[in-house]
Structure 1
Amino acid sequence: MKPVFLILFFLMNISSSQNNFGTIEIIISETSSDEGVIQVLIFDQEKGWPESVEDAWKMVTIPIENGIAKQTLTDVPIGKYAITVFHDHDEDGEIRKNRIGYPLDNFGFSNNPSLVFGVPSFEKCSQKVKPGKATRFEIELR
Protein backbone atom coordinates (compact mmCIF):
# COMPACT_ATOMS: atom_id res chain seq x y z
CA MET A 1 0.00 0.00 0.00
CA LYS A 2 2.86 2.39 0.76
CA PRO A 3 4.27 2.31 -2.80
CA VAL A 4 0.86 3.24 -4.25
CA PHE A 5 0.56 6.16 -1.82
CA LEU A 6 4.07 7.38 -2.65
CA ILE A 7 3.41 7.19 -6.39
CA LEU A 8 0.16 9.15 -6.03
CA PHE A 9 1.90 11.76 -3.85
CA PHE A 10 4.72 12.09 -6.40
CA LEU A 11 2.29 12.48 -9.33
CA MET A 12 0.25 15.11 -7.47
CA ASN A 13 3.40 17.13 -6.76
CA ILE A 14 4.50 16.99 -10.39
CA SER A 15 1.14 18.16 -11.72
CA SER A 16 0.83 20.98 -9.16
CA SER A 17 4.36 22.23 -9.87
CA GLN A 18 3.67 22.23 -13.64
CA ASN A 19 0.78 24.65 -12.97
CA ASN A 20 3.33 27.29 -11.97
CA PHE A 21 4.89 27.50 -15.43
CA GLY A 22 3.95 28.70 -18.88
CA THR A 23 5.57 29.16 -22.27
CA ILE A 24 6.85 32.24 -24.09
CA GLU A 25 6.90 32.30 -27.90
CA ILE A 26 9.06 35.08 -29.38
CA ILE A 27 8.62 35.98 -33.05
CA ILE A 28 10.53 38.78 -34.76
CA SER A 29 9.71 39.13 -38.44
CA GLU A 30 10.78 41.32 -41.33
CA THR A 31 14.39 41.70 -40.32
CA SER A 32 16.52 43.74 -42.73
CA SER A 33 18.64 40.67 -43.52
CA ASP A 34 19.58 37.19 -42.29
CA GLU A 35 22.98 38.59 -41.33
CA GLY A 36 23.77 38.52 -37.61
CA VAL A 37 21.36 37.51 -34.84
CA ILE A 38 18.55 38.95 -32.75
CA GLN A 39 19.57 39.74 -29.18
CA VAL A 40 16.73 39.47 -26.67
CA LEU A 41 16.39 40.63 -23.08
CA ILE A 42 13.40 39.33 -21.12
CA PHE A 43 12.45 41.19 -17.96
CA ASP A 44 10.18 40.01 -15.15
CA GLN A 45 10.48 43.32 -13.29
CA GLU A 46 10.75 47.03 -13.99
CA LYS A 47 14.22 47.29 -12.47
CA GLY A 48 16.81 47.61 -15.23
CA TRP A 49 14.25 47.88 -18.04
CA PRO A 50 15.04 47.94 -20.99
CA GLU A 51 18.83 47.57 -21.21
CA SER A 52 20.35 46.07 -18.06
CA VAL A 53 21.60 42.58 -18.83
CA GLU A 54 22.24 42.04 -15.11
CA ASP A 55 18.62 42.81 -14.17
CA ALA A 56 17.02 40.86 -17.03
CA TRP A 57 15.35 37.56 -16.19
CA LYS A 58 16.94 35.97 -19.25
CA MET A 59 19.05 36.87 -22.26
CA VAL A 60 18.54 34.93 -25.49
CA THR A 61 20.29 35.04 -28.86
CA ILE A 62 18.10 33.96 -31.78
CA PRO A 63 19.40 33.15 -35.27
CA ILE A 64 17.60 34.65 -38.26
CA GLU A 65 16.29 32.46 -41.07
CA ASN A 66 14.43 33.85 -44.09
CA GLY A 67 13.88 37.20 -42.38
CA ILE A 68 12.34 35.67 -39.24
CA ALA A 69 13.73 34.94 -35.77
CA LYS A 70 11.71 32.56 -33.57
CA GLN A 71 12.30 31.03 -30.16
CA THR A 72 10.08 29.18 -27.70
CA LEU A 73 10.93 29.15 -24.01
CA THR A 74 9.28 26.54 -21.81
CA ASP A 75 9.11 26.25 -18.03
CA VAL A 76 8.70 30.03 -17.62
CA PRO A 77 7.46 30.93 -14.12
CA ILE A 78 4.03 32.57 -14.22
CA GLY A 79 4.14 36.35 -13.97
CA LYS A 80 4.54 39.50 -16.06
CA TYR A 81 7.23 39.74 -18.71
CA ALA A 82 8.40 42.43 -21.13
CA ILE A 83 10.88 41.96 -23.95
CA THR A 84 13.33 44.21 -25.75
CA VAL A 85 15.21 43.11 -28.88
CA PHE A 86 17.71 44.39 -31.40
CA HIS A 87 19.23 43.15 -34.65
CA ASP A 88 22.89 42.52 -33.86
CA HIS A 89 24.44 42.56 -37.36
CA ASP A 90 28.03 42.17 -36.16
CA GLU A 91 27.16 39.70 -33.35
CA ASP A 92 29.13 41.60 -30.71
CA GLY A 93 26.22 41.60 -28.25
CA GLU A 94 25.96 45.39 -28.09
CA ILE A 95 23.52 47.76 -29.73
CA ARG A 96 25.17 50.52 -31.73
CA LYS A 97 24.03 54.07 -30.89
CA ASN A 98 24.63 57.52 -32.33
CA ARG A 99 26.14 60.42 -30.35
CA ILE A 100 22.87 61.29 -28.65
CA GLY A 101 22.14 57.69 -27.71
CA TYR A 102 19.57 56.74 -30.37
CA PRO A 103 20.00 53.15 -31.60
CA LEU A 104 21.55 52.64 -35.02
CA ASP A 105 20.59 48.95 -35.04
CA ASN A 106 16.94 47.99 -35.62
CA PHE A 107 15.22 47.38 -32.30
CA GLY A 108 11.80 46.62 -30.85
CA PHE A 109 9.73 46.13 -27.72
CA SER A 110 7.03 43.64 -26.85
CA ASN A 111 3.50 44.89 -27.61
CA ASN A 112 5.04 47.23 -30.24
CA PRO A 113 4.24 50.46 -28.35
CA SER A 114 4.51 53.98 -29.75
CA LEU A 115 7.90 55.60 -29.19
CA VAL A 116 6.72 59.22 -29.46
CA PHE A 117 7.61 60.02 -25.84
CA GLY A 118 10.77 57.95 -25.55
CA VAL A 119 11.37 54.48 -24.19
CA PRO A 120 8.09 52.75 -23.31
CA SER A 121 7.52 51.59 -19.75
CA PHE A 122 7.81 48.01 -18.55
CA GLU A 123 4.03 48.06 -17.93
CA LYS A 124 3.25 49.10 -21.52
CA CYS A 125 5.38 46.29 -22.90
CA SER A 126 4.48 43.52 -20.47
CA GLN A 127 2.19 40.53 -20.87
CA LYS A 128 1.15 37.91 -18.36
CA VAL A 129 2.48 34.40 -18.68
CA LYS A 130 -0.18 32.04 -17.42
CA PRO A 131 0.12 28.44 -16.24
CA GLY A 132 0.11 25.82 -18.97
CA LYS A 133 -0.40 28.38 -21.76
CA ALA A 134 1.78 29.86 -24.47
CA THR A 135 2.12 33.65 -24.43
CA ARG A 136 3.09 34.99 -27.85
CA PHE A 137 5.30 38.05 -28.23
CA GLU A 138 5.32 39.24 -31.86
CA ILE A 139 7.79 42.09 -32.13
CA GLU A 140 8.28 44.49 -35.02
CA LEU A 141 11.72 45.96 -35.55
CA ARG A 142 12.07 49.71 -36.10
Structure 2
Amino acid sequence: MKTLFLTFALVLTSLFSFSQDSGVTLTLTIDNVISDKGNVKMALHTVDTFMKGKGLENGQSEIKDGKVTITFENVKPGDYAVIAFHDENENNKMDFRDNGMPLESYGMSNNVMSFGPPQYEDAKFTIADKDLELNIRF
Protein backbone atom coordinates (compact mmCIF):
# COMPACT_ATOMS: atom_id res chain seq x y z
CA MET A 1 0.00 0.00 0.00
CA LYS A 2 2.82 2.37 0.88
CA THR A 3 4.51 1.64 -2.46
CA LEU A 4 1.27 2.28 -4.33
CA PHE A 5 0.81 5.62 -2.55
CA LEU A 6 4.41 6.69 -3.30
CA THR A 7 4.03 5.70 -6.96
CA PHE A 8 0.79 7.69 -7.22
CA ALA A 9 2.41 10.73 -5.59
CA LEU A 10 5.39 10.50 -7.96
CA VAL A 11 3.11 10.34 -11.01
CA LEU A 12 1.13 13.40 -9.85
CA THR A 13 4.30 15.34 -9.16
CA SER A 14 5.61 14.50 -12.64
CA LEU A 15 2.38 15.60 -14.30
CA PHE A 16 2.37 18.95 -12.50
CA SER A 17 6.01 19.64 -13.32
CA PHE A 18 5.38 19.06 -17.05
CA SER A 19 2.36 21.35 -17.10
CA GLN A 20 4.22 24.39 -15.79
CA ASP A 21 5.42 26.98 -18.28
CA SER A 22 9.15 27.36 -18.48
CA GLY A 23 9.13 31.02 -19.49
CA VAL A 24 7.72 34.36 -18.42
CA THR A 25 5.20 36.85 -19.77
CA LEU A 26 6.55 39.95 -21.49
CA THR A 27 4.03 42.79 -21.75
CA LEU A 28 4.90 45.68 -24.07
CA THR A 29 2.99 48.97 -24.06
CA ILE A 30 3.18 52.02 -26.29
CA ASP A 31 1.05 54.96 -25.15
CA ASN A 32 2.10 57.73 -27.53
CA VAL A 33 1.03 56.53 -30.99
CA ILE A 34 0.24 59.66 -33.02
CA SER A 35 -3.00 58.33 -34.55
CA ASP A 36 -5.36 55.38 -34.29
CA LYS A 37 -5.05 54.72 -38.03
CA GLY A 38 -3.45 51.38 -38.97
CA ASN A 39 -1.82 49.13 -36.38
CA VAL A 40 1.39 48.68 -34.44
CA LYS A 41 3.68 45.75 -35.05
CA MET A 42 6.31 44.49 -32.59
CA ALA A 43 8.99 41.84 -32.85
CA LEU A 44 11.03 40.18 -30.11
CA HIS A 45 14.62 39.58 -31.23
CA THR A 46 17.87 38.03 -30.12
CA VAL A 47 21.24 39.27 -31.32
CA ASP A 48 20.99 36.73 -34.17
CA THR A 49 17.67 38.01 -35.55
CA PHE A 50 17.86 41.75 -34.78
CA MET A 51 17.32 43.88 -37.93
CA LYS A 52 17.31 40.74 -40.10
CA GLY A 53 13.57 40.19 -40.64
CA LYS A 54 11.01 38.49 -38.44
CA GLY A 55 11.68 38.11 -34.76
CA LEU A 56 11.42 35.08 -32.52
CA GLU A 57 7.95 36.32 -31.58
CA ASN A 58 5.89 38.81 -33.59
CA GLY A 59 2.68 40.57 -32.69
CA GLN A 60 0.41 43.36 -33.78
CA SER A 61 -2.35 45.37 -32.20
CA GLU A 62 -4.99 47.84 -33.19
CA ILE A 63 -4.53 51.28 -31.70
CA LYS A 64 -7.08 52.71 -29.29
CA ASP A 65 -6.70 56.26 -28.04
CA GLY A 66 -3.02 56.27 -29.02
CA LYS A 67 -2.22 53.15 -26.98
CA VAL A 68 -1.35 49.52 -27.72
CA THR A 69 -0.38 46.55 -25.61
CA ILE A 70 1.14 43.34 -26.94
CA THR A 71 1.99 40.33 -24.80
CA PHE A 72 4.46 37.56 -25.54
CA GLU A 73 3.91 34.44 -23.45
CA ASN A 74 6.38 31.81 -22.28
CA VAL A 75 9.52 33.80 -23.13
CA LYS A 76 12.63 31.92 -22.05
CA PRO A 77 15.29 33.62 -19.90
CA GLY A 78 17.95 35.43 -21.91
CA ASP A 79 18.85 38.69 -23.62
CA TYR A 80 16.38 40.22 -26.08
CA ALA A 81 15.49 43.44 -27.87
CA VAL A 82 12.13 44.67 -29.20
CA ILE A 83 11.51 46.72 -32.32
CA ALA A 84 8.09 48.31 -32.91
CA PHE A 85 6.62 50.43 -35.68
CA HIS A 86 3.33 52.09 -36.54
CA ASP A 87 2.10 50.53 -39.78
CA GLU A 88 -0.21 53.42 -40.52
CA ASN A 89 -1.04 52.34 -44.09
CA GLU A 90 -1.24 48.63 -43.14
CA ASN A 91 1.10 47.43 -45.88
CA ASN A 92 2.96 45.17 -43.39
CA LYS A 93 6.29 46.92 -43.80
CA MET A 94 8.15 49.97 -42.57
CA ASP A 95 8.02 52.75 -45.14
CA PHE A 96 11.00 55.05 -45.83
CA ARG A 97 11.67 58.31 -47.65
CA ASP A 98 14.03 58.32 -50.63
CA ASN A 99 16.86 59.40 -48.33
CA GLY A 100 16.32 56.38 -46.04
CA MET A 101 14.54 58.20 -43.22
CA PRO A 102 11.45 56.41 -41.85
CA LEU A 103 8.00 57.68 -42.86
CA GLU A 104 6.29 55.81 -40.00
CA SER A 105 6.88 56.09 -36.26
CA TYR A 106 9.05 53.45 -34.64
CA GLY A 107 10.68 52.63 -31.34
CA MET A 108 12.68 49.99 -29.56
CA SER A 109 13.21 48.64 -26.08
CA ASN A 110 15.16 50.95 -23.76
CA ASN A 111 13.79 53.90 -25.80
CA VAL A 112 17.17 54.82 -27.23
CA MET A 113 16.81 56.95 -30.35
CA SER A 114 19.97 57.68 -32.24
CA PHE A 115 20.92 58.64 -35.75
CA GLY A 116 21.25 55.64 -38.02
CA PRO A 117 19.73 52.20 -37.72
CA PRO A 118 18.83 50.75 -34.31
CA GLN A 119 21.58 48.79 -32.57
CA TYR A 120 20.98 45.59 -30.61
CA GLU A 121 23.27 46.61 -27.75
CA ASP A 122 21.23 49.82 -27.24
CA ALA A 123 17.91 47.94 -27.15
CA LYS A 124 19.03 44.84 -25.24
CA PHE A 125 17.31 43.84 -21.99
CA THR A 126 17.42 40.66 -19.91
CA ILE A 127 14.56 38.35 -19.06
CA ALA A 128 15.12 36.36 -15.89
CA ASP A 129 12.52 34.43 -13.91
CA LYS A 130 9.84 37.10 -13.39
CA ASP A 131 7.20 38.57 -15.70
CA LEU A 132 8.34 41.82 -17.26
CA GLU A 133 6.52 44.96 -18.43
CA LEU A 134 8.18 47.47 -20.75
CA ASN A 135 7.02 50.79 -22.15
CA ILE A 136 8.24 51.72 -25.61
CA ARG A 137 8.13 55.31 -26.83
CA PHE A 138 7.73 56.41 -30.44
Q: TM-score range by the shorter chain?
A: 0.7 to 0.9
Instruction: Determine what percentage of the aligned residue pairs are the same residue.
Output: 21
Larger radius of gyration: 2
CA distance in 2, matches of 1:33, 1:114: 20
Residue 30 (structure 2) aligns with = 28
Q: Could you say what secondary structure the match of 2:114 adopts?
A: coil
- Deviation by residue 1:26-84 (Cα, 9 ceiling, x = unmatched): 101111111110011110x222422512xx11111111111101122221111111011
Structure 1 unaligned regions, length at least 5: none
CA distance in 2, matches of 1:28, 1:9: 40
State the one-letter code of the partner of 2:107. G
Task: Indicate which of 117, 123, 130 corresponds to 2:121.
Answer: 123
Structure 2 unaligned regions, length at least 5: none
Residue 139 (structure 1) aligns with = 136
Alignment check: 8 A CA contact 1:23 1:129 kept: no
State the one-letter code of the partner of 1:128. T
Task: Indicate which of 3, 18, 41 corresponds to 2:8.
Answer: 3
* 1:88 equivalenced with 2:87 (yes/no): yes
Give the TM-score normalised by structure 2. 0.86
Q: CA deviation at 1:13?
A: 4.2
| Closer/same/farther in 2, CA of residues 40 and 24 from structure 1, 3 Å limit | same
State the one-letter code of the partner of 1:120. P
Aligned residues: 133
Moved segments of 4+, more than 4 Å: none
CA RMSD of aligned residues (A): 1.6
Residue 56 (structure 2) aligns with = 57
Residue 74 (structure 1) aligns with = 73
Residue 47 (structure 1) aligns with = 48
State the one-letter code of the partner of 1:27. T
Q: CA deviation at 1:105?
A: 0.4
Alignment check: 8 A CA contact 1:26 1:70 kept: yes
Give the TM-score normalised by structure 1. 0.84
